[in-house]
C-alpha cells in the first residue's frame, strides 16, 4: 500500500509553498511573492516523528475567474483533494477570513476527509486571537503558524500526523521506472504525459511555459509501475526573465537527475534547435537512458521518406545520442503514443543490463583481434582485463598497460563492439581506462 497523501490547499499567496518547502526541507516548490506562482500539483515524500507521508502542493484556488489557466489550477487542486488522505487548508491570518476561504471550506467539508486548518502569517503568537474568526469555517480548531519565521510548525506537524490514517506499508519503489519528460516550452510535453497515462493529470495550454514545476504521476501498465515526471520547458538563459522561471529550469534538470529514462520531446514543425541540443546534452552527460520523441507529427506534410529524412537530421544534429531510438507521435491524436511506454520499458532494461565478466572479456578479446590496439612511440596498448562494475548507465573499466595510449577513436571502436554484441539501445555507456597499477591496487 502507498504512503498516506496530504494535500496543501488554499487561496493564492497564503504561504502554501513556503510550508511545503519547510516540511520537505528543500526548495521543491517555487516561492515568490506573486499570486498564482504554483500552478500544478507537486509531489514530495516527507517524514515527521518517524511517520512517512507524501505531500502535494497545489495552485491557489480561485473561483471568480475567466482565466483558462486559473480554472485549470482550480481543477488540479480538486483532483489533489480527491487523492489525499488528509488535507492541510492554509488561510492568511493577516488578511483575515474571506469569501473565497468559505467557498474552499465548503469543498473540504464535502470531501469528508481529515482537515487541518492552518492560519499562516501569525508572526507574533501574542496575536493568536486573530485566528478565532476562522472557527466560522466549521473545520475544527485552527492552528496559528508563521511559515516564514518557522513559528509553531512543529506543533502543526504533530497535529498533521495525528490526522493521518493508520500506518501503512511503505510503497515499494525498486520496480518503478522513473521517466522525465523534457524539452523546450510548448513542444507538447504535458499533452504527451496526459496521452500516455490517459488522464488529464497535468495542465495543458498552448501558452509557452505553462508548466513551471516538475510533477510526478504514478501509473501502472502491463504490471509495470511507472513514475512520469512532467517538467517545465527549458528556455535559453537569456530568455529567463522572471526568477520563477529560473527555479523551473533548475528543477527540470534535477528531474533528469532522478529519472531512469528521459523522453526528449522535439517539435516536428520546428525540428532540432540549439536549445534542444543543450537539453539533450544534459541528459546524455547525466548518463540517462533516453528516447527522442518527435511530437506534432500529424501537422507535418509527409511522404514515404519523410520520417527517414527527419531521423537522419536528428542523428546529425544530436550526434552524441546515436544510441537513442526515435519515435514519431502526435499527443493530440495519440498516434503511436503506445510505442512510447513500450520503448521506455525496453531502454530501461538496456540501461540496467549487466554482462557476465567472462562474456565481456571474450567480446573485447575478439574486438582486439579484429582491430589491434594502437601504439605510440613503439609501445602498443594492451588490454589486460575488462569488468562492468555498475549499471544505470552501464559502466565498463578497461585495465591496460598505459592509459595514455588509449586513443578516443579506439575507445569508440570498443563501445561500438559492445553495442553490436549486447545492444544497449537507448542508453549511454560509461567507459573508464585504468593502468595496471590501478588494477593491482
Q: Which of 14-23, 76-85, 94-103, 150-159 has the highest mean pLDDT?
A: 150-159
Between residues 64 and 189, which one has the greater pLDDT? Answer: 189
Question: At 251, is the pLDDT very low, low, confident or very high (cuts 50, 70, 90)?
Answer: low
Residue 390 lies in domain: 357-440
DSSP string, 247-295: HHHHHHHHHHHT-SEEEEEEETTT---HHHHHHHHHHHHTT-EEEEEEE
Dihedral over alpha carbons 273, 278, 280, 284 (to 10 degrees): 150
Query: Does residue 171 form part of some domain?
Result: no
pLDDT for 116 beyond 80: yes
Q: Over the chain, what is the mean pLDDT?
A: 82
**Per-residue confidence (pLDDT) for residue 155, from 0 to 100:** 93
CA atoms within 13 A on the CB side of 384: 13
Answer whether 98's CB lies under 8 Å from 66's CB: no
**Per-residue confidence (pLDDT) for residue 237, from 0 to 100:** 53
Tell me the three cell numbers of residue 89.
487548508
Residues 272 and 147 in one domain: no
Number of Cβ atoms within 10 Å of the Cβ of 246: 14
70: CATH = 3.40.50.300
pLDDT for 156 beyond 80: yes
Query: Does residue 169 form part of some domain?
Result: no
Beta bridge partners of 249: none
Q: What mean pLDDT comes out for the span 327-353?
A: 94
Indicate the SS3 state at residue 54.
strand
Q: What mean pLDDT comes out for the span 96-119?
A: 87
Beta bridge partners of 179: 228, 261
**Per-residue confidence (pLDDT) for residue 32, from 0 to 100:** 55
> 3-state DSSP helix/strand/coil percent for the chain, to nearest 5?
40, 25, 40
Q: Which of 114, 135, 163 is the last residue of a domain?
A: 163
Query: Does residue 197 form part of some domain?
Result: yes
**Per-residue confidence (pLDDT) for residue 64, from 0 to 100:** 61
pLDDT tens digit string along 371-390? 999 888 788 899 999 999 99
Between residues 400 and 276, which one has the greater pLDDT? Answer: 400
Indicate the SS3 state at residue 372.
coil
Residues 346 and 364 in one domain: no
**Per-residue confidence (pLDDT) for residue 363, from 0 to 100:** 97
Indicate the SS3 state at residue 196.
helix
pLDDT for 354 beyond 80: yes
Nearest CA to 278 among 264, 268, 291, 290? 264
Beta bridge partners of 217: 228
Report how far residue 59's alpha carbon sits from residue 51's, in angstroms, rounded to the nearest whole number. 26
Domain count, the chain: 3
**Per-residue confidence (pLDDT) for residue 229, from 0 to 100:** 84
- Range of weakest confidence among 39-53, 313-327, 381-395: 39-53
**Per-residue confidence (pLDDT) for residue 331, from 0 to 100:** 92
pLDDT for 164 beyond 50: yes
**Per-residue confidence (pLDDT) for residue 170, from 0 to 100:** 44
CA 2 to chain centre: 19
Residues 159 and 252 in one domain: no
Query: Does residue 199 form part of some domain?
Result: yes
Between residues 238 and 81, which one has the greater pLDDT? Answer: 81
Tell me the three cell numbers of residue 330.
502526435
Report how far residue 428's alpha carbon sits from residue 415's, in angstroms, rounded to the nearest whole number. 10
Q: How far is CA 321 from CA 27, 310, 325, 349, 377, in A?
A: 32, 15, 9, 18, 34
- Model pTM above 0.75: no
Question: At 345, is the pLDDT very low, low, confident or very high (cuts 50, 70, 90)?
Answer: very high
Q: What mean pLDDT comes out for the span 159-182?
A: 76
Residues 34 and 158 in one domain: yes
Q: Which of 316, 336, 351 is the last residue of a domain?
A: 351
Amino acid at each position: 500500500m502507498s504512503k498516506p497523501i496530504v494535500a496543501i490547499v488554499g487561496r493564492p499567496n497564503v504561504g502554501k509553498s513556503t510550508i511545503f518547502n519547510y516540511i520537505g526541507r528543500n526548495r521543491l516548490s517555487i516561492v515568490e511573492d506573486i499570486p498564482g506562482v504554483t500552478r500544478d500539483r507537486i509531489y514530495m515524500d516527507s517524514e515527521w516523528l518517524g511517520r512517512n507521508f507524501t505531500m502535494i502542493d497545489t495552485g491557489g484556488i480561485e473561483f471568480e475567474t475567466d482565466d483558462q489557466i486559473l480554472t485549470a489550477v482550480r481543477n488540479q487542486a480538486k483532483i489533489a483533494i480527491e487523492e489525499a488522505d488528509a488535507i492541510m487548508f492554509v488561510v492568511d491570518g493577516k488578511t483575515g477570513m474571506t469569501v473565497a476561504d468559505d467557498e474552499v471550506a465548503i469543498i473540504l467539508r464535502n470531501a469528508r476527509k481529515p482537515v487541518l486548518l492552518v492560519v499562516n502569517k501569525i508572526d507574533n503568537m501574542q496575536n493568536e486571537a486573530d485566528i478565532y474568526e476562522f472557527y466560522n469555517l466549521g473545520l475544527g480548531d485552527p492552528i496559528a503558524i508563521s511559515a516564514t519565521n518557522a513559528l509553531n510548525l512543529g506543533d502543526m506537524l504533530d497535529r498533521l500526523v495525528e490526522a493521518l490514517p493508520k500506518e501503512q506499508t511503505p510503497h515499494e519503489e525498486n520496480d518503478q521506472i522513473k521517466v522525465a519528460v523534457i524539452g523546450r516550452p510548448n513542444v507538447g510535453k504535458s499533452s504527451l504525459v496526459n496521452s500516455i497515462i490517459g488522464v488529464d493529470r497535468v495542465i495543458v495550454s498552448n501558452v509557452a511555459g505553462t508548466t513551471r514545476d516538475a510533477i510526478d504521476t504514478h501509473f501502472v501498465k502491463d504490471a509495470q509501475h511507472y513514475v512520469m515526471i512532467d517538467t517545465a520547458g527549458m528556455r535559453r538563459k537569456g530568455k529567463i526573465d522572471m526568477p520563477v522561471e529560473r527555479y523551473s529550469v533548475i528543477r527540470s534538470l534535477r528531474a533528469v537527475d532522478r529519472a531512469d529514462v528521459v523522453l526528449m520531446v522535439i517539435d516536428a514543425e520546428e525540428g532540432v534547435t540549439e536549445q534542444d541540443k543543450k537539453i539533450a546534452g544534459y541528459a546524455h552527460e547525466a548518463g540517462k537512458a533516453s528516447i527522442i520523441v518527435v511530437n506534432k507529427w500529424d501537422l507535418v506534410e509527409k511522404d514515404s521518406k519523410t520520417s527517414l529524412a527527419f531521423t537522419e537530421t536528428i542523428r546529425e544534429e544530436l550526434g552524441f545520442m546515436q544510441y537513442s531510438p526515435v519515435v514519431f507521435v502526435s499527443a493530440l491524436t495519440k498516434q503511436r503514443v503506445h510505442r512510447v511506454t513500450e520503448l521506455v520499458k525496453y531502454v530501461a532494461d538496456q540501461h540496467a543490463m549487466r554482462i557476465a565478466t567472462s562474456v565481456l572479456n571474450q567480446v573485447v578479446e575478439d574486438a582486439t583481434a579484429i582491430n589491434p590496439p594502437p601504439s605510440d612511440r613503439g609501445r602498443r596498448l594492451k588490454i589486460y582485463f575488462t569488468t562492468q562494475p555498475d549499471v544505470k548507465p552501464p559502466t565498463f573499466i578497461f585495465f591496460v598497460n598505459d592509459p595514455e595510449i588509449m586513443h578516443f577513436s579506439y575507445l569508440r571502436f570498443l563501445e561500438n563492439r559492445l553495442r553490436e554484441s549486447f545492444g544497449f539501445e537507448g542508453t549511454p555507456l560509461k567507459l573508464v581506462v585504468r593502468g595496471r597499477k590501478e588494477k593491482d591496487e
